[in-house]
A = this chain, B = another copy of it.
């Protein structure tokens, strides 16, 4: 497959598999991320899928296993469009790397987050048609991609709680989607069908979806059982007990300053500070604050209320004295969670879920 067509400022971290993110200042130009800026996190080459021959297999703890063509999915189930922001668990890893190296993991910046309108069918409707049986607890997904792991080829996969898959009022639906922003999914985003789990780490939104399996336990796929787990700072790859890592699922709360940029020179006086914020699960961002004195005093940013699973853009004005200044931001979510202050105590050897106060240094003159 040829490389995806991306913006000239798109930062390609790796070409095979293809991985990249946009600079945050470009992401802030539109709430709906254009595909040329949408982050890409792949673990294997993009599979070439014959959409005509494609069938989605639905099995496990169900009374009626299903095998559905794309046309049957479109025709036999309710089609909905849902706005959802995806965010990688590795977003803002670069700040962790500056504390201590995170070997073997891509040094993602703060642009591994993007937003789209997704069109597809609710996973809940698929599960209803398949008739979930007693003992069901998790819904596992597997992709058509083939990742090389220890001499074997495995699909990328993962699972979410059944309760999340079925969640009704209040929670944005989990989708099996074939369109983003009104266009068919591009190959690198999962053509012809992918999962979209609003409020969860991007890894659970499995691309090139081939199977949905209802089961009594989380997926034993490498990317659920080994990867995407959070360990304390003192644990390394050599002594990690994988059964004890925190299995990631819902996103934690984060906020990021996109403008001014780190290292930028700004005129002395009133400076407009802009950025994004994102809450996890079914929580919403309730407040964003910025500080130019290390958190001694805070200015509340203006932000548009956004539903769960959707980022919000915010804007504040700070009156900066001359000299080298550090601007920080933090958000609060609807569960009154706020962000941790320092990156250091969040370090973990996989480099996940850094949501410390975001900091940029500017030269005010």
Contacts and interface: CB of A to CB of B under 8 A. Distances in A.
Contacts of A283: 250, 281
Contacts of A77: none
A334 B335 CA distance: 14
A90 B115 CA distance: 37
A53 interface: no
Contact of A246 (B168, B282, B286): B286
Contact of A297 (B169, B233, B336): B233
A346 interface: yes
Given A286-B246, A287-B246, A232 B300 contact: yes
Size class of the A contact interface (CB-based, 8 Å): 35 or more
A15 interface: no
A167 B170 CA distance: 9
Interface string A326-343: 000010101111111110
B232 A334 contact: no
Contact of A169 (B166, B232, B282): B166
A342 to B, nearest CB: 6
Contacts of A365: none
A253 to B, nearest CB: 7
Q: What copy number does this chain have within its complex?
A: 2
Interface in A239-284: 246, 248-253, 280-283
Interface stretch (A63-71, A141-149, A157-165, A219-227): A157-165
A335 B287 contact: no
A338 B334 contact: no
B340 A338 contact: yes
Contacts of A253: 337
A188 interface: no
B338 A341 contact: no
Interface in A149-189: 161-164, 166-171
A21 interface: no
Given A161-B170, A166-B169, A341-B342, A336 B248 contact: yes
Given A234-B298, A297-B234, A280 B335 contact: yes
A280 B300 CA distance: 25
Contact of A249 (B168, B281, B334, B353): B334
20 contacts: A162-B169, A163-B168, A163-B169, A164-B170, A166-B168, A232-B300, A233-B297, A233-B298, A234-B298, A249-B334, A250-B334, A252-B336, A253-B337, A281-B281, A281-B282, A281-B335, A336-B352, A337-B337, A340-B340, A341-B345
